[in-house]
Structure 1
């Protein structure tokens, strides 16, 4: 580890504070519990696996529809007021969904309540990235910004990976020890406490210097639709689709072997490896450019996914997942780094929520489609869908290579 890296990381830790990282980590846990939590409750209360899958998709759709709008509101009015409002609204919708799903309301009302959960979901991870990017851009010496940004995106992605592995596990434990409704009620309590604390942290009152006195951005909204930024959104959507298709097809694969409950354990092989490799991105040499990283690591992901067509044992599947874990984490870090570098001035939270919503939307749609394919065609057909998702991610990496000019354009 270089002296420069140690100094930059120490400065960022001092600027944000250790309490910030602890609160921001726990505050994103309820979101990781929601998708699996609504699925668990819907299946338990209504006895319908199909409805359970649709409720999970409804959560993702709600997030995709409203996430970028919430990011834009945070850019315009500041994160504090937006997050405090969402903490109360989301906790309320979690409780409302629990009451509705156990009641006599028709299924469409259950789906509407699930959509409300996604629509009011506090975008903690994107908001955290936006805050830290602002701190790096505005308070850090220019000589260490690039290195610090890379390490920050690596940490944030590793935190997301860890939470999304631990969140479903926690849902299973709470549902087994208490009741199927317990994970959602506890998620509501965590949302009020920790999202509220995240909102009230001093960094939550920061307004970007790229905003004028009235809170308006100095850039035009049309800049959000530049080709070099949209290719990142599509690429990260591919990553989300991969997450959803891989977990669902893996569940089908293990169900064929009489052990569907072990799917989460095998998935953890990819998740843990992905988180470790995501952290390792911070130590990659600067000459290994971002556009090259996207191609190399998404290519590794695609290679690992191609092995899915040949595995027929649990050991073979574990090996394929381990290879894919090498590619997925660093790819995600690289895409977020491009998003941070290409954000129009004063619209960092908007861009980060666009990327975060892309992951969730892709995950939800991927899971829903793969479930239908697994039931109608079988596991072999379902296992081809992660290959398609990995191919999308790799193809956008190729397109990004031509849209980039050595390095991403600095904001």
Structure 2
């Protein structure tokens, strides 16, 4: 009897369908290619590493300014309309940026077109999280719902890790095999095809039961600025800064050893381990609370970064990266789980794009600052920045511990 009931219970895979997960995975690839692709083409066409860093930061600024607004629009009008428009607009901006960079336009126009790329970026990963959480909360039984959400956040974070490791790798292959402009043109094509498919997938019609017939949410906008939610945004911003500073500092570290092309391979050590550990979060025992997970895994990340000033060889760097990989993936999963648990009613897409924007903004700022520091001061100075980023993430975890104690319901939800 129990077995029959269990087999009849809807699963997320059955509700969403396998094609959904394949489409959503590929659709987030262009987003992972943008920052590195923009940097590559600017350095090649304009011969300026400084302008390249500023251009990458402009992409992040565009995402910071418009990402949460686009998430709010998706909550209000539905993901299908918003994503369809963004798929076309972002592909056009990628092509326009390529033309501007290779043309005679002044540098401010390069920065402006880069800002446009970030402003129109279809943040598939946050919107996928929002879409899946809506399916779980609206269409699955309450028993086991929180565990399903935890597993979903784990999968989504592992998918992000995989894409953000593979994206720069693909940029390098296309730029070397064809031309520096090729990654952006390929990203434009993938955006039209797969973001378009993601927008047209039947699940895009799903609207939270918390929204009324006119698309309005019962929660006030002010609820997005509660300390319990803002601390999660701060923590995930620290993770983004870590990603940007670590990759840039690692590139400088390997360049000092005349092997900058191997930076991606070493970075993959952290990325693969992080993805695997992120998937494992779903199997952690419930008594290992989310606020405790944040502190424990952010502490491991911090411990790994503290080894960086003493690293003097690629082998030692691999050890440090492996330790950091143990901490970064589960930390990211936990932060997204807190975001899902603390989203105001009917505003999950807004919250998820806020968190997604935090990662991208942090990555862009971190890469720009670390690049400038490595070029002007040296690699040793750049290697200090990941420590600062890890400290921000850990400190946010400490504050979250206090805020979770004040609002225990938020932690208990997970």
TM-score, structure 1 length as denominator?
Answer: 0.97
Deviates more, 1:342-351 or 1:174-183: 174-183
Match of 1:34 in 2: 34
Cα deviations by residue, 1:291-319 (Å, 9 ceiling, x for unpaired) = 00000000000000001111111111110
Instruction: Write out aligned runs for 1:7-406 (5 A).
Output: 11-405=11-405
1:408 and 2:377 equivalent?
no
Q: Measure how far apart 1:54 and its partner are.
A: 1.2
CA distance in 2, matches of 1:56, 1:409: 39
Cα deviations by residue, 1:126-159 (Å, 9 ceiling, x for unpaired) = 0000000001111111111011011000000000
Question: Does the CA contact (< 8 Å) of 2:10 and 2:140 recur in 1?
Answer: no
Q: Measure how far apart 1:408 and its partner are.
A: 2.1
Cα deviations by residue, 1:243-296 (Å, 9 ceiling, x for unpaired) = 011111111111111111111111111011100100010111111110000000
CA distance in 2, matches of 1:133, 1:23: 17
Secondary structure in structure 1 of the residue aligned to 2:307: helix
Question: Does the CA contact (< 8 Å) of 1:301 and 1:324 recur in 2?
Answer: yes
The number of equivalent residue pairs is 407
Question: Does the CA contact (< 8 Å) of 1:9 and 1:148 recur in 2?
Answer: no
CA distance in 2, matches of 1:217, 1:291: 28
In structure 2, the CA distance between the partners of 1:377 and 1:7, relative to structure 1 (3 Å rule), is farther
Question: Does the CA contact (< 8 Å) of 2:245 and 2:382 recur in 1?
Answer: yes
CA distance in 2, matches of 1:151, 1:203: 19
CA distance in 1, matches of 2:67, 2:198: 18
In structure 2, the CA distance between the partners of 1:9 and 1:91, relative to structure 1 (3 Å rule), is farther
Secondary structure in structure 2 of the residue aligned to 1:404: helix
Structure 1 segments of 4+ aligned residues over 6 angstroms from their partners: 6-10
CA distance in 2, matches of 1:305, 1:7: 46
Deviates more, 1:321-330 or 1:368-377: 368-377
Deviates more, 1:294-303 or 1:260-269: 260-269
Question: Does the CA contact (< 8 Å) of 1:341 and 1:409 recur in 2?
Answer: no
Secondary structure in structure 1 of the residue aligned to 2:146: helix
Question: Does the CA contact (< 8 Å) of 1:342 and 1:409 recur in 2?
Answer: no
Secondary structure in structure 2 of the residue aligned to 1:281: helix
Question: Does the CA contact (< 8 Å) of 2:33 and 2:167 recur in 1?
Answer: yes
Secondary structure in structure 1 of the residue aligned to 2:286: coil
In structure 2, the CA distance between the partners of 1:129 and 1:366, relative to structure 1 (3 Å rule), is same
Q: Measure how far apart 1:10 and its partner are.
A: 6.8
TM-score, structure 2 length as denominator?
Answer: 0.96
Q: Measure how far apart 1:223 and its partner are.
A: 0.2
Secondary structure in structure 2 of the residue aligned to 1:212: coil
Secondary structure in structure 2 of the residue aligned to 1:207: coil
Q: Measure how far apart 1:176 and its partner are.
A: 1.2
Secondary structure in structure 2 of the residue aligned to 1:408: helix
CA distance in 2, matches of 1:11, 1:410: 20
RMSD: 1.5
CA distance in 2, matches of 1:169, 1:260: 13
CA distance in 2, matches of 1:9, 1:179: 51
